Structure 1
């Protein structure tokens, strides 16, 4: 984080106002008054520079009006940074101006996406004609007493430039174009059209002049080039292959391949098209592309820090003439911030365990010699295999079930083996006296469609907990895997895996307190038909190890939870029905909120929580603390000394930073609560927006860190508080509750406007359980 400082006290802002307001309002910043004074009008003629149409257009004339909009008084920003003033509109304008200033030069030289710019250096090819580019992120950040520039590595996917034929071969997963000598199937054509739509290309068949012409792909022809005919204008028709030979003396090498359509009755053979460089790939990556992307971006802390330093050299703040004109100087050194490590909490398992009380080391532990704190009883359950006897030999299935049962018993669950075997034998309890509590589903693959349908049916139709097992794990039947499955089954059936010593979470144990975590999941980019899903998870008792969930489907991409009041009311009732007491305190962790939405969320959602409480009883007014949890940021912590690092080179679990890089005066901190597995760990940013419970800094930091040790799925401290983590999972699970959804492993399906899928409702039998685990 290089340190940015400004010498001038004023910036002048000019508003550019295009005619009729069609293009909206644009701001221009200058270090001093421009020569024309307060206002001027300019006549400007600009050539068409995108060339995305099939006909050449003449240069167009524009009338641009510029009017002085005001001055940015930097003294107000200085007062805010020193904690002596509020974040006024003038301060926001100053920060925006600095953002524009540092972004201006890199954006002219590179391809930009948001606050990141990307270069061709160090690109790596993914599958399907996609490649990942290395980039650098930067933004101006206000902190205590100074402005900083947050610099980090960034990566995103782009289409590979070059031959469109090569792109087609890669999208279809063929080895070479020779594999397409018989043309393409309707299925392949549909896949191609979906992948190539709106992609920009240039043509190569008419020399250098026309190679500058750009077109957007609209669709793919149903017929190959030698069968795609069009009207020549004189009543005669000709196929595309014959036309290119007659007009350009160009004999098509691949006449059996289809053409692209760029406009009505304008067809281009694939082989005369080239994909233009620098087009961002915005579709959902496939499983393999995602894995390759992770490998590309996964860099240990010391390597990432060195790459960031290289990025600062590329940014060249000291040689930036625009920064010089504004009198801004920037240090090339990373900022050093003091940090401390919060003590590790004490975890408790069942008293009958050989090792009932433990203090984990470096954020992880194992289940050896431990029994879950409260084991659920599994009396009736069934097993179904989604495959043939050849795929899932009976002996292998039985061996896995024996290991799973033994592991569950060893870890403190009560399993009625005889009843379980009877239930399985009689096919899902058809003739059993007891309805199964659990269905174990053994799947032949890791694909989404089958898994999604299983969860839709068990969650919203049958109302029973389900546990899916991948066949490769079933065949191996490893004890560690079975232990992980045991943890999930136990909480799905109402058990509790582990809890923290009550003395270490007094805020929760001293008085009835409910923890809530909220998140909103939005559809994939470009998918305008699907709704957003909001989820809240809330604790059920003083141990804060068991949770219930509330889900709502809402339209649009707004970050405000529309039906928050009723969701909170349902969760408060669940808490009361579980432990017989009303929560006197609410600690609400909210994910998915950007800084620009803080005020909107603060006003709308806290009022909704209050409304939920008063709707239960007018006199019911628990104290509320509202904390925004952010994981999508670009702050990274690098330890200076090896003794302060874990085995991966990351900061130790429990590392917290509460000054220098935080807000000038508000209550926020960065907490790295988990141990690094690979790459550079990302700390979680906690920002307190509202606090009636009067937390001390140490109190909220310690509580948030301790909670990260009782995430039910694993024996590791996780990177953010479990209520929010569970809300993430519930949002993802709710996507599977859509009836008639055609799930794709590679990318989201685009529906026609207005065709919103109907989402099933989770059955009442599951609402107060952690069915989503």
Structure 2
């Protein structure tokens, strides 16, 4: 290999770290013990007419049966369901061939009226994939070429081909109805298995994990309708259904596949899609039969001698003027529920997916039996073998940092144990003073009694004082407001009352909310952040009534940083990168609208530290084109925050450590190119000679790597790995600088480590310095006394994005159940955060 060959445009791994206690963990990766030796042949396939992947697979299966000894010879091709076929040796027909394939209509039942569907399958040779080149990449002897990427894709298709022909496939996972569990409202959750072929140092690995997704329950349509509407039985709908229920049903049932039960076996297998629902019940839905108007109920009585049990229910429309009573329809099993789940369904889904580490590991092993790599004829033909044992990898548990609270605390500096601690005997590092404030209770004086509010305010003030805040004004004015009324007016009124009572500019409004609904909360934040410019602290009435000390302490942490205070910081000696020279930490994230929503924008947020302790942050927000991952105005956002840093501590940062969230591997180059340029441009825009050193790290939580302790003594009380567990070899990139860090203590289920990948580094980090810095930072997330799973700059950027969604006018949050296709978002206007809040952590 010539020394001039550049292996990667990103950063090469500068070695391995040594800090911390060495342990071994199991990771849900399975080694590919034998890779295909020979070249793999890649063909492009076009199936016309164009149909969804599930039907493409049926066509392909039929094509295989027909051409087993003809056009395919003895080759078993593998298919990705869309455009690509791979084979272990050339197909006999040469460069290109076209085949006619007929598949019987509707799963093998050909009625006289409907001829079989005919398809054309056109296959064309693309090229041969050189497997030797992939080996060289894995051995760090060659860069990741397009040929290597295609080889990895081919292996991915190879391990997925057999399960995708037999099971319901969604993305990289396939799902089985075994062990499914009903969620609320006619939806059930199915267990799935995710698999992905990943390059690792000197070998390929297969990452296997559990996944779960929601499906509609199969069976009688009437039962599904009752569950969707939350009714016990059909008699409750005798009086007909309301317009609101009807529109809810239509949204849920549109495009759902059904089969009919009233026409014997020949038609029973015919499948129809629901287009819409009639406005009228079956007894009043009329159409013409031989020139005579007749209703659906009478037609069924006359034609099929069938008296409808539920003539009061609407009909489903399957084609124009083609109506079916709901009671003769069965929902076909295995149809994905793609709409947003409601709160109850989400809670049930979490229960289903939340599994202790040892249970998850056992289920993954069971998944191996279903995947059955050992006796998979396709794998055998390509000469690929996979280990049945989960990989055992080397890990280290990093030392816990020392946290600093105020000098006057009984416990001013200490090292937490097991990733969590409490505020007993501790005072915040810098306590804010709260002099001018007011309280609004959203609810009537009957529901929110004055006595209960005053008691809560007293408890909160005592806790805040004990925790080191200063609250000279202990009797803020208390107002009641209608939660369904003019929220903007109520918040403004509280602001005026606070100012008049304290004779100074209001600093905070404490809002007591009657419920957990989003609507009221969203409107309070829109008004306080973008109209008035005052910090607000919302609490739910149920917490107010119990006024627990622990709860008050958590509220106090949030109030303190909203008022410009600082809760804690890390001993400067333990974060030398930040404390030795002026250094700014930045975290960026972009959130996108819900799937299918073409009208709403994406929101980009950037958060940056403001001083040498890196505990206080400022934020900048931009609204940009929907679904765009690259941050459009990153340069402008950086400029704002570099200025804030300078104004706060009188120095320009010498170094920038930029953590970027939400970027997939395929976008690394694009983001690196565009966003580093933008950071540089921001620096030049402030001063032509200003060139701080930049390090750019991508942070990923959306991956399927999981770690399982091998020894009970290396596990925490939930059975997860200890906080500070870092893995940087065996399952990471063959030669780039990346690592997995699980920085938090598990609460429930199996913890997900965070994947850090360094794309650019002018600061010369070694693995120890970047890993320990990233881990230590996770202890100074301002709103809780736990180590968190993500570095705070990125965590804050998440919070800012979520908050910015509430800054839009014309959004109906109360009714927004995630069904955004009909969103009237053209009318949305986003307010900007008032300057007086931009330098404090208002988003907490």
Aligned to 2:598: 528
CA deviations 1:431-489 (Å, max 9, x no partner) are 43223211111111111111111111111111111111101100000000000000000
C-alpha contact 2:38 2:88 (8 A) present in aligned 1: no
Q: Given that residues 373 and 379 in structure 2 are in contact (C-alpha distance below 8 angstroms), is that contact kept between their aligned partners in structure 1? A: yes
Structure 1, unaligned stretches of length 5 or more? none
CA distance in 2, matches of 1:318, 1:403: 64
2:5 aligns with none
Q: Counterpart in 2 of 1:332? A: 388
Q: Which residue of 2 aligns with 1:3?
A: 31
Higher relative contact order structure (alpha carbons within 8 Å, sequence separation ≥ 6): 2
- Note the C-alpha offset of 1:64: 3.2
Matched, 1:384 2:440: yes
Which deviates further from its counterpart, 260-269 or 684-693?
260-269
CA distance in structure 2 between the partners assigned to 1:50 and 1:76 by the alignment: 43
- CA deviation after TM superposition for structure 1 residue 218, in Å: 2.1
Q: Please point out which of 340, 353, 367 is paired with 1:297.
A: 353
1:275 corresponds, among 331, 347, 357, to 331
1:458 aligns with 2:528: yes
* Distance across 2 between alignment mates of 1:151 and 1:574: 45
The partner residue of 1:763 within 805, 821, 834 is: 834
Aligned residues of 2:107 and 2:269 also touching (Cα < 8 A): no
C-alpha separation between the residues in 2 aligned to 1:302 and 1:689? 34
Q: In the alignment, does 2:69 pair up with 1:30?
A: no
Give the TM-score normalised by structure 1: 0.97
| d(CA) in 2 for partners of 1:756, 1:216 | 33
Deviation of 1:62 (Å): 3.7
Establish whether residue 362 from structure 1 lines up as the match of residue 418 from structure 2.
yes
Secondary structure in structure 2 of the residue aligned to 1:331: strand
Cα distance in 1, alignment partners of residues 420 and 494 from structure 2: 39
- Specify the SS of the correspondent of 2:647: helix
Q: What's the offset of the Cα at 1:9?
A: 3.1
Match of 1:694 among 751, 756, 764: 764
Contact 1:529 1:751 in 2 (8 A): no
Cα deviation, 1:393-413, whole Å, max 9, x if unaligned, reads: 111111100000000000011
1:715 partnered with 2:771: no
How far, CA to CA, are the matches of 1:711 and 1:182 in structure 2? 55
d(CA) in 2 for partners of 1:558, 1:258: 42
Q: What does residue range 576-725 of structure 1 map to in structure 2 within 5 Å? A: 576-725=646-795
Deviation, structure 1 residue 516: 0.9
Partner of 2:223: 166
Gapped regions of structure 2 (runs ≥ 5): 1-28, 53-80, 482-492
Specify the alignment match of 2:449 in structure 1: 393
Counterparts in 2 of 1:69 and 1:749: CA distance versus 1, 3 Å = closer
Assess if the C-alpha contact under 8 Å between 2:440 and 2:478 holds in 1: no
| Alpha-carbon distance in structure 2 between the residues aligned to 1:463 and 1:501 | 34
Answer with 283-292 or 9-18: which moved more.
Answer: 9-18
Mapping of residues 197-596 of structure 1, within 5 Å: 197-232=254-289, 234=291, 236-418=292-474, 420-421=476-477, 427-430=494-497, 431-432=500-501, 433-596=503-666
Pair 1:772-2:837 in alignment: no
3-state secondary structure, aligned to 2:236: helix
CA deviations over 1:473-512 (Å, ceiling 9, x no partner): 0000000000000000000111100000111111111111
CA drift at 1:43: 2.9
Residue in 1 that maps onto 2:72 = none
Shift in Å at residue 381 of structure 1? 0.5
In structure 2, the CA distance between the partners of 1:36 and 1:509, relative to structure 1 (3 Å rule), is same
Which whole-Å CA distance do the structure 1 matches of 2:322 and 2:575 have between them? 69
Q: For 2:667 and 2:604, how far apart are their aligned partners in 1?
A: 16
Q: How far apart in 2 are the matches of 1:371 and 1:56?
A: 81
Within 1, Cα distance between the matches of 2:48 and 2:282? Answer: 45
Return the alpha-carbon distance in structure 2 between the equivalents of residues 285 and 681 of structure 1. Answer: 23
Distance 1:649 1:322 in 2: 38
Q: Distance in 2 between matches of 1:153 and 1:182?
A: 45
Q: RMSD between aligned alpha carbons?
A: 2.1
Deviation at 1:531, TM superposition (A): 1.4
Q: Is the 8 A contact 1:423 1:436 kept in 2?
A: no
**Candidates 18, 21, 42, aligned match of 1:13:** 42
1:370-420 CA distances to partner (integer Å, 9 max, x unpaired)? 010011111111000111112111111111000000000000111123463
Indicate if the aligned counterparts of 1:521 and 1:533 stay in contact, CA closer than 8 A: yes
Q: Structure 2 CA distance, aligned partners of 1:376 and 1:68?
A: 70
Check conservation: 1:380, 1:423, Cα contact below 8 A. Answer: no
1:183-198 correspondence runs (5 A): 183-198=240-255
Specify the alignment match of 2:484 in structure 1: none
- Asked if 1 retains the 8 angstrom alpha-carbon contact of 2:663 and 2:700, the reply is yes
Out of 801, 822, 833, which is 1:751 matched to?
Answer: 822
Instruction: Give CA deviations for 1:550-605 in whole Å, capped at 9, x if unaligned.
Output: 11111221211122111111111111121111111111111111111111111111
Cα distance, 1:457–1:645 mapped onto 2, change above 3 Å: same
The answer (yes or no) to whether the contact 1:383–1:428 under 8 Å persists in 2 is: no
Total equivalences in the alignment: 771
